[in-house]
Structure 1
């Protein structure tokens, strides 16, 4: 992950991280453009959503949905 300085847009270094909650953290950063900027700042990073859920979640959901079907539909899905 790359963080840029909000002042000069130069690359910044993450110096520490403080978790605020599950999926949300404050990143403490320092600008690498020390001659002209040298700003230190805090930015927040947060988990938003999955583009592709973990396979274990997908398999568990599929199994749950299949169990709710009548037996003949379950067998039909399995081509038996």
Structure 2
């Protein structure tokens, strides 16, 4: 992905990425033109799906469950127990 400086239009580099959610990320950027030196934050966000994932619902749920902490997994198991 190419980020351009919003002031001079030259190439900018991403110094830090701050993932706010699955669908939104803040990119902390700096212009590579030493005469400009502009630093800024730009957002990258999910818009919409063009083609659905080939993964099954079970694979998606399993991947999400693995990302939880042990405490969160235990709470989820208790919540799903019928």
TM range, normalised to the smaller chain?
0.5 to 0.7
1:6 aligns with 2:15: no
1:45 aligns with 2:44: yes
**TM-score normalised by length of structure 2:** 0.63
Distance 1:26 1:18 in 2: 5
Distance 1:50 1:39 in 2: 33
In structure 2, the gaps of 5 or more residues are 57-82
In structure 1, the gaps of 5 or more residues are 58-80
Q: How many residues align?
A: 56
Q: Stretches of 4+ moved more than 2 A in 1?
A: none
Structure 1 counterpart SS, 2:20: strand
Partner of 1:76: none
- Root-mean-square deviation (Å): 1.1
Shift of 1:21: 1.6
Greater C-alpha Rg: 1
